[in-house]
């Protein structure tokens, strides 16, 4: 399956045996925080950093899966220009009708009795728009998940417009309750991948993704899924470079703060994410101003931690990092006396 995906032009990366999460990093990458773009493992052919290592290289794919034939297959959505509608059917308390379809007021006359999953909210969205239900779209690749959910695969018809990932439980960026979006900055499990809970199985006649319906693209734009293009001067101070005098000691200060940011991934709401990212970026700015860290490297670490925790709000993450780095840079943080 990995080779077949690569033949479609979809970059792939290994998933841990029996799981839907990426294979573990090498020991060196486990023990230190660094940006995937600066990691020597990826060009060396090691599958570290999940979808960042995704490739269409037949030689690399053969090497990975020959050594670990039980690994599953993940597809990097951004590199493949894929937008996948991930419909969940988890047992959960149904929220107030105001949160079922973000930005759409559902009139009290609409009977919601029996609504229990993402299948229902997506069908409701399609009905309100007078459009076909994507869950029933047999013109595109659909994959049934072991938990009873459904992945509806689409190709981005306008590659110049990039879309972010989101979770259906988010109060900020979401298409519908229990409907996640997998796009740039994320990956999707390839069909035929086996986990301890079951196999991801293709459903219906289509083997390949169709183009994303225009109305769905409009809904993604409406709900804030587009990723703004960076503009000149949007990252003040990013070109400044200082030679790090004490990077090890600086990382002893910064790394615990980065870990707190990344660990917010386990709590979609109420984790004080903004405060933690602000604190980490402010500290990084002070360390860079004192010459203990390279500001560009610190920014990359902050961005990586933020994307792990809140991948659906990349633009907001950037603003927090920019503002806090600038504020921290105005007050150098010296490490004398710290151990």
Task: Assign residue 120 the CATH number of its domain.
Answer: 3.30.2250
Q: Which residue matches tokens 């790394």? A: 255
Does 164 lie in the same domain as 92?
yes
pLDDT at 247: 64
* pLDDT band at residue 231 using 50, 70 and 90 as cut-offs: very low
Q: Where are the beta strands (DSSP E) in the chain?
A: 12-15, 72-76, 82-87, 142-144, 150-155, 179-182, 187-189, 194-195, 198-199, 201-203, 210-211
pLDDT at 336: 64
Residue 109 inside a domain? The answer is: yes
What integer is the mean pLDDT of 218-245?
61
**Residue 244 scores a pLDDT above 70:** no
**Residue 233 scores a pLDDT above 80:** no
Helices (H), 68-213: 77-80, 118-129
At 257-293, the pLDDT tens digits run: 988 888 888 776 778 889 899 899 999 988 888 888 8
* pLDDT band at residue 235 using 50, 70 and 90 as cut-offs: very low
pLDDT at 241: 39
Does 254 lie in the same domain as 161?
no
Give residue 324's domain range: 247-329
What integer is the mean pLDDT of 59-75?
94
What integer is the mean pLDDT of 183-198?
94
What integer is the mean pLDDT of 133-144?
97
Quick check: 312 and 165 in contact, CB under 8 A?
yes
**Residue 170 scores a pLDDT above 90:** no
Does 277 lie in the same domain as 171?
no
Q: Which residue matches tokens 């009290």? A: 108
**Residue 21 scores a pLDDT above 70:** yes
CA dihedral 288, 264, 308, 116 (to 10 degrees): -160
pLDDT at 61: 95
* pLDDT band at residue 238 using 50, 70 and 90 as cut-offs: very low
Dist. CA 310–CA 299, nearest whole Å: 16
Closest to 66 in 3D by CA, of 74, 77, 58: 58
Residue 238 inside a domain? The answer is: no
Does 312 lie in the same domain as 210?
no
Q: Which of 48, 77, 106 is the last residue of a domain?
A: 77
pTM: 0.68
What integer is the mean pLDDT of 225-253?
57
Q: Which of 206, 222, 238 is the last residue of a domain?
A: 222
| DSSP-based three-state secondary structure for 286 | helix
Residue 339 inside a domain? The answer is: no
**Residue 228 scores a pLDDT above 80:** no
CA distances to 5, 27, 130, 160, 184 from 156, rounded to whole Å, are 17, 36, 22, 9, 11
Q: Which residue matches tokens 């002070």? A: 286
Does 96 lie in the same domain as 72?
no
Residue 316 inside a domain? The answer is: yes
**Residue 154 scores a pLDDT above 90:** yes
Does 45 lie in the same domain as 129?
no
Does 57 lie in the same domain as 21?
yes
Does 213 lie in the same domain as 89?
yes
Structure tokens at 329: 């840079």
At 294-335, the pLDDT tens digits run: 888 888 889 888 888 888 788 888 889 988 888 888 888 887
Domain count for the chain: 3
């Amino acid at each position: 399956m990995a080779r077949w995906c690569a033949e479609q032009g979809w970059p792939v990366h290994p998933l841990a045996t029996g799981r839907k999460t990426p294979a573990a990093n090498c020991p060196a990458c486990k023990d230190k925080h660094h940006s995937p773009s600066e990691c020597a493992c990826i060009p060396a052919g090691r599958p570290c950093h999940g979808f960042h290592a995704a490739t269409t290289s037949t030689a690399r794919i053969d090497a990975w899966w020959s050594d670990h034939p039980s690994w599953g297959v993940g597809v990097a959505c951004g590199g493949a220009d894929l937008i996948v509608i991930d419909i969940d059917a988890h047992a959960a308390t149904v929220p107030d009708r105001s949160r079922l379809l973000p930005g759409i007021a559902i009139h009290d006359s609409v009977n919601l009795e029996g609504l229990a999953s993402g299948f229902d909210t997506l069908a409701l969205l399609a009905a309100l728009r007078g459009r076909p239900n994507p869950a029933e779209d047999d013109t595109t690749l659909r994959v049934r998940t072991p938990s009873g959910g459904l992945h509806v695969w689409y190709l981005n018809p306008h590659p110049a417009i990039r879309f972010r990932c989101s979770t259906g439980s988010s109060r900020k960026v979401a298409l519908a309750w229990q409907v996640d979006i997998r796009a740039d900055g994320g990956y999707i499990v390839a069909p035929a991948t086996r986990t301890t809970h079951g196999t991801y199985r293709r459903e219906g006649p289509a083997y390949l993704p169709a183009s994303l319906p225009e109305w769905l693209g409009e809904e993604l734009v409406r709900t804030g899924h587009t990723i703004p293009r960076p503009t000149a001067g949007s990252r003040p101070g990013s070109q400044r470079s200082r030679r790090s005098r004490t990077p090890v000691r600086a990382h002893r200060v910064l790394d615990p703060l980065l870990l707190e940011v990344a660990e917010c991934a386990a709590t979609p709401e109420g984790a004080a994410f903004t405060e933690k990212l602000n604190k980490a970026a402010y500290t990084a700015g002070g360390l860079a101003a004192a010459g203990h860290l390279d500001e560009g490297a610190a920014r990359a670490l902050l961005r990586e931690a933020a994307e792990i925790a809140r991948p659906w709000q990349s633009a907001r993450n950037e603003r927090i990092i920019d503002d806090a780095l600038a504020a921290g840079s105005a007050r150098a943080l010296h490490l004398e006396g710290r151990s």
